[in-house]
Structure 1
Amino acid sequence: MVPGCSLLLAGAVLLSSSVQAIDTIPTDVMDRVRANAIASSSKSWENGTLARAITELDHLSISPFEPDFLPPWSNNESSAALSTLAFDALASKVEEFGFLSLDGSWRTTVNGTNLQLVPDGSAGDPASLGEVVIWANQTGQIFREPGKYSIAAESEAYYITTLAPRTSDGAISHRTDDVQLWSDFMYMVPPFLAYYAAMTSNTTMMKDAYDQCRLYRQYLKTDSGLWKHIQLGRSGQDPMNWGTGNAWAAAGMMRTIAIMRNSPLNSQYTTEQADLQIWIEEIMLGAFSHQLTTGLLHDYPDNRTSFPDASSTALFAATAYRLSAYGLSSRWVPFAEKAYANISAQLQASSDGWLAPVVNPLAWGVRGSESPEGQSFVMLMEAGRRAWRLAGSTNETGPTGPLEEDESQTVPASS
């Protein structure tokens, strides 16, 4: 186990007081946020993130943050949105093999990428869809044939653990055609490995979920606690500490903790969970030390020349609430509440339900207009905050550097 948080937080400045109580985002506003997320998400990671957000916000009984999230599930736990996401994930397989041929023949394909849930240049992103496919398989939400698509999730797990490129020490590549590590990977793959391991009581795969977090941290962590965005590979590296990439990493490790804790394998992985918490808090400290007075973070948190980004800020806030709701740490709640207040005000001030300002998800240093993943991040933030409130709304003071001034103190309008 790595050194404790007492060393991590040494020398930090304490906030003088907790933030004041903030009203929740109104239901009609969240409805617009959700509708935009569903309408705009199309990429594998967007749909996988959306599926997890819908689960956490609307279907708590199957959320891995709940104690009894594992099957058997009731067929009455239906969701048109989740069913559509699962069906879309399998559409290419259905077209290639037919409804009645989804069997082990997937493994006989020459190109291992055919084993992925969806064809993708990323080795990691399709794994984010694994949980919703498992749910649809178990409950018969696709064609009302329970068990029909178990091979789909199994083949995805087989590809990730056996065929995807790796570094010499075992870190799974985020890309299919090169060994390249992205901080984004942390939200896509370790939670899926942990989820599949919990479903099948696979201790080897659960350990691999942890090991991927450990290895990625070794490659990407900087002295500030923040992680570099993209390392290794022939081209396309991003050695800077991209905000969304760091938020992906922290949220992915938080989700992995939840799955470990609520699985039958919990007692075997208490040390690993403690490590994951420390690694999350390293990132949180590195990010929130640069929180703007508006509550937002820069697109690159430690680069004041980059623009404020509500997208990554929302996902950081979601993780802060989950840490507190789980009784692990409430020191980040004041920062989350400051972020929540800004995002809530912006969404209520707009009429269309789009989060702003946001980074272009496909151009990391460029301001965007609409972000599908950003919409899902708001849903994850709201779900996390609801869990925090149900757990008693613990609201401690927390460590940070001085808040940075933003050039614009007004609530940003939707673009």
Structure 2
Amino acid sequence: MRGSITLIAAAAAFACAAPLASDSTPLPNSTIALVKQRLSETGTDTWTSGTHMEALLELDYPELSVFSSATYPPTSTAPPRAVQSIVASWAAKRPSWTNELAYDNGGAAADPAALGVGWLVAAAFADDATKATYLDQVAKEARYILKSVPRLPDGAISHRPSGEAVSLWADFVSMVPPFLAYYGVATQDQSLVSEAVNQIKLYRKHLQAPSGAWEHIYGGDVVDGGLWNTGNGWAAHGIVRVLATIKNSQYKDDLADEAEQLASWATEILTVAFSKLKSDGFLPNYYGSSTFSDGSGSALLAASAYRLAQLNGTQSEYILDMAATIRSAVNNHVDTSTGWLAPVVGIWNELSGNEAAMVVDNMTTGDDSAFNFLELTRTQRLYGFSIWSFTFPFPLRGRIPADLAHGPVERSLVAGFGLSLLGAISYVRKQEPIFAVLYVVGVVCAVVGTGFLFGFKRQVNMMRDPVRQYAAAVFLLCVALTWMYVFAISIKIHSLSTSKRARAPEGQAFILLLETAWRDYSAGTYA
């Protein structure tokens, strides 16, 4: 097994050095109510809504959760009103022509599948007409995932849709396999449950690092080989949900070997993740390359640990001790007046537009395709620049005066917004002082560049060629607007990274998943 030696060593070291916690205090109902309220207000994405419904099933309708029973239709007679409401909301805005449960132009192919389990549960309590509609929509979603979404040659289904390069994201494991497994139970199709296990196996093959933790993204246009904390949480929790579905279904005997494998794979992730536990009780955003604490992914991993113990997949005391430590930290960092958890890495929720998120996502991985109208590339000659180049949405090739192309304006501006953005991004990711210094240097350069920009007005006015004068003026204007746009983003990033205003809606669901998993484990409710 890849990374087995590292895992054994980590486990041994952790058993000796890990801090212990045995907080037996439940999260107050008033705080839970606030957490649920914040989640309802902000959890508008498909993956967040899917996780929201899973949390509600486990917390408010436990008899409908796969951790209690995976039989379908459910034996409970109490309708899950909150889950039904969420499904009805998505169903009302679902385009009739799509095969997915929800359509998000440019979104991931896997994310709508996160709604699948809640959709099936809602169907079981709906009137005949609505039930037929819901079941038909779920069937289309399953066919779309299995037949239309591209795959790697070995059969691993892409997280991204057709038309894009095949890309495997750790997030996928919480979106698709739990849905396929539950749908297989609902339709009495064991092959679907087996395919859920197979997809986890294939994703593990491609994403697992030598340490045993999972990388975030493999393949495609955006590659993130970092060991992202929340990505490992998505993977671990998806695995234990499929494990619970198998152990609480009619296929528990036929798929006993697969269940054992799943428990082992989840343990691999938890062992490495918990070896990174910080003194504040949280795990870092990225293992080995970040000191920024992430309460969101930490909560999901702790919930996975309790669920794994509940399913008898592990009896490891140190894993449970670390889960208890994380739970105490999470509960202590939930604002009792608002319900928000901090610190988290949901910085992009308060930024407008997708460009900012894509700039950061790709800036940190070396992909320059995300720079919407700004392209920073190494080139021999473009618009008179020898190293850095600007690409504008209008033809100015050959019209940029050489004296403008090599003056202090563009150098200061390029250095300014380049360094400030890079510094802010890097500081968010790694929280190292050197990146804060880089950010300050960028600010200074940008301010100097702005001064040069105003001083350049006279030179522009002295040009006698109207075309060159116009081109120069437009050029300077675009440089200024570009700088202001990117610099404003960098300021937003920097301020959010060091404040409690960062929000992660899915993290609210993770709080509920953790609290419910702990309660079930503490009550001795075993599968």
TM-score by length of 2: 0.66
2:434 maps to what in 1? none
In structure 2, what is the Cα distance between the partners aligned to 1:156 and 1:211?
A: 18
In structure 2, what is the Cα distance between the partners aligned to 1:76 and 1:216?
A: 37
Alignment of 1:290-329 (within 5 A): 290-303=276-289, 305-329=290-314
2:510 maps to what in 1? 377
The verdict on how the C-alpha distance between 1:72 and 1:351 changes in structure 2, with shifts beyond 3 A counting, is closer
In structure 1, what is the Cα distance between the partners aligned to 2:83 and 2:525?
A: 30
Q: CA deviation at 1:6?
A: 9.7
Greater mean alpha carbon deviation, residues 10-19 or residues 275-284: 10-19
Q: Kindly indicate whether residue 194 of structure 2 is the aligned counterpart of residue 194 of structure 1.
A: no
In structure 1, what is the Cα distance between the partners aligned to 2:189 and 2:2?
A: 28
SS at match of 2:154: coil
Q: Tell me the percent identity.
A: 34
Q: CA deviation at 1:22?
A: 2.9
Give the letter aligned to residue 380 of structure 1: L
In structure 2, what is the Cα distance between the partners aligned to 1:3 and 1:300?
A: 20
2:231 maps to what in 1? 245
1:109 maps to what in 2? none
1:391 maps to what in 2? 524
Alignment of 1:136-151 (within 5 A): 136-140=122-126, 145-151=130-136
Native 8 Å contact 1:74 1:139 kept in 2:
no
User: Which of the residues 209, 215, 231 maps onto 2:218?
Assistant: 231
Q: CA deviation at 1:230?
A: 0.8
Number of equivalent positions: 370
Give the letter aligned to residue 211 of structure 1: N
In structure 2, what is the Cα distance between the partners aligned to 1:22 and 1:300?
A: 29
Q: Kindly indicate whether residue 419 of structure 2 is the aligned counterpart of residue 286 of structure 1.
A: no
Give the letter aligned to residue 388 of structure 1: Y
The verdict on how the C-alpha distance between 1:216 and 1:3 changes in structure 2, with shifts beyond 3 A counting, is closer
SS at match of 2:345: strand
1:117 maps to what in 2? 101
SS at match of 1:196: helix
In structure 1, what is the Cα distance between the partners aligned to 2:229 and 2:3?
A: 24
In structure 2, what is the Cα distance between the partners aligned to 1:306 and 1:8?
A: 22
The verdict on how the C-alpha distance between 1:187 and 1:392 changes in structure 2, with shifts beyond 3 A counting, is closer
1:156 maps to what in 2? 141
The verdict on how the C-alpha distance between 1:297 and 1:256 changes in structure 2, with shifts beyond 3 A counting, is same
Give the letter aligned to residue 8 of structure 2: L
1:82 maps to what in 2? 83
Native 8 Å contact 2:3 2:210 kept in 1:
no
1:267 maps to what in 2? 253
In structure 1, what is the Cα distance between the partners aligned to 2:228 and 2:9?
A: 25
SS at match of 1:266: coil
Give the letter aligned to residue 167 of structure 1: L
Give the letter aligned to residue 43 of structure 1: D
The verdict on how the C-alpha distance between 1:146 and 1:5 changes in structure 2, with shifts beyond 3 A counting, is same
Native 8 Å contact 2:117 2:182 kept in 1:
yes
Q: CA deviation at 1:118?
A: 0.6
1:241-294 residue CA offsets vs partner (Å, 9 max, x unmatched): 111011000000000000011111111111111111111111111111110112
Native 8 Å contact 1:37 1:372 kept in 2:
yes
Q: CA deviation at 1:91?
A: 2.1
In structure 1, what is the Cα distance between the partners aligned to 2:295 and 2:20?
A: 22
Q: CA deviation at 1:137?
A: 1.4
The verdict on how the C-alpha distance between 1:392 and 1:68 changes in structure 2, with shifts beyond 3 A counting, is closer
Structure with the higher fraction of residues in helix conformation: 2
In structure 1, what is the Cα distance between the partners aligned to 2:70 and 2:222?
A: 42
Give unpaired runs (5+ residues) of structure 1. Answer: 98-105, 107-113, 394-415
Give unpaired runs (5+ residues) of structure 2. Answer: 349-356, 362-428, 430-492
2:485 maps to what in 1? none
The verdict on how the C-alpha distance between 1:6 and 1:302 changes in structure 2, with shifts beyond 3 A counting, is closer
In structure 1, what is the Cα distance between the partners aligned to 2:69 and 2:336?
A: 37
Q: CA deviation at 1:9?
A: 2.6
1:165 maps to what in 2? 150
Give the letter aligned to residue 211 of structure 2: S
Q: CA deviation at 1:122?
A: 0.9
The verdict on how the C-alpha distance between 1:184 and 1:210 changes in structure 2, with shifts beyond 3 A counting, is same
Give the letter aligned to residue 511 of structure 2: V
Give the letter aligned to residue 278 of structure 2: L
SS at match of 1:267: coil
Q: Kindly indicate whether residue 339 of structure 2 is the aligned counterpart of residue 360 of structure 1.
A: no
The verdict on how the C-alpha distance between 1:355 and 1:386 changes in structure 2, with shifts beyond 3 A counting, is same
1:29 maps to what in 2? 31
Give the letter aligned to residue 53 of structure 1: A
1:52 maps to what in 2? 54
Q: CA deviation at 1:18?
A: 5.2
1:9 maps to what in 2? 8
Larger radius of gyration: 2
In structure 2, what is the Cα distance between the partners aligned to 1:174 and 1:306?
A: 28
Native 8 Å contact 2:70 2:182 kept in 1:
no
In structure 1, what is the Cα distance between the partners aligned to 2:89 and 2:16?
A: 46
